[in-house]
Amino acid sequence: MDYAQLEKMISQTVKKVVANYVFHETKLLVIHPNSLTSRNKIERLRKSFHIHEWQGEPIDELLDCYDFIVFLEVDQSFIVNSAQGIIHTSETKLLSQFIIRDVATVLVPNDEFLTYVIRSTSNRPYISMLRGYVENLRQYGCTICEFSNVKNLTHRNPSINEKELITESTIKEYKNSILTISENTIITPLALDTAKQKGITIKHE
């Protein structure tokens, strides 16, 4: 094998490695029920993020290590209990600890809750009550979204976070699920309404 052939082989190998390499900048801590559905979603997330699956580590080992905290496949029991501050599983305890420490989290409801509560147009008292618990969690700093929206999680965008005035059009163009702004930033009422419609959680630094 001459030098030219060797150089060609190396070049082809490097191209294959580069083509298959994905740089995962955003780090996600994912808490999930280890079901077949959640495992499939984990594998899909690995294509876009650096994933760490929660293994029961204490919260002090998790703080400041990840860009986003994502709870997958949360069910009605998880949402209702968490909204009331009731700890009945290790997962709800972890969420409570994050909320107490003002750490933003993303909750992805399972298909049943999405279908019958989140997407439902029913105004029946029971459904309205469940929506109230969802709203409570949003007020606590949680983002509740569908799995398809998780892919929009990226690092905070300084160009919007440092604005002195945030308007409706600014929110319409915003692609992430969490917007952190300074205490001096003014956000218009229409911008707040639009953020609520898009499921964007607004937090102050």
Listing DSSP states for 103-139 in one string gives --EEEEE-HHHIIIIIS-----HHHHHHHHHHHHHHH
Q: What is the pLDDT of residue 7?
A: 62
* DSSP type of residue 21: -
SS3 198: helix
Give start and end residues of each alpha helix (H) in 140-179: 158-161, 168-173
Residue 116 above 60 pLDDT? yes
Q: Are 83 and 137 in contact (CB under 8 A)?
A: yes
Residue of 19 and 148 predicted with greater confidence: 148
Q: Are 41 and 74 in contact (CB under 8 A)?
A: no
Cα separation, 205 vs 41, in Å, equals 31
Cα separation, 23 vs 36, in Å, equals 26
In this prediction, residues 171-180 reach a mean pLDDT of: 80
Per-residue model confidence as pLDDT tens digits over 53-111:
999 999 999 988 898 999 999 999 999 999 999 999 999 999 999 999 988 899 999 99
In this prediction, residues 169-175 reach a mean pLDDT of: 80
- Give the chain's count of helices (H) and strands (E): 9, 9
Q: Are 199 and 177 in contact (CB under 8 A)?
A: yes
CATH code for the structural domain at 27-152: 3.40.50.1950
Cα separation, 61 vs 163, in Å, equals 33
Q: Are 70 and 177 in contact (CB under 8 A)?
A: no
Q: What is the pLDDT of residue 19?
A: 45
Q: What is the pLDDT of residue 164?
A: 67
Residue 167 above 80 pLDDT? yes
Contacts of residue 79, defined as CB under 8 A and 6 or more positions apart, other chains included, come to 107, 109, 113, 130, 133, 134, 137
Q: Are 30 and 42 in contact (CB under 8 A)?
A: yes
In this prediction, residues 22-35 reach a mean pLDDT of: 82
**What ranges do the domains of the chain cover?**
27-152, 158-204
Q: What is the pLDDT of residue 9?
A: 65
Q: Which residue has the tokens 């280890």?
A: 34
* pTM given for the model: 0.67
Query: Which has the closest alpha carbon to 106: 42, 57, 178?
Result: 178
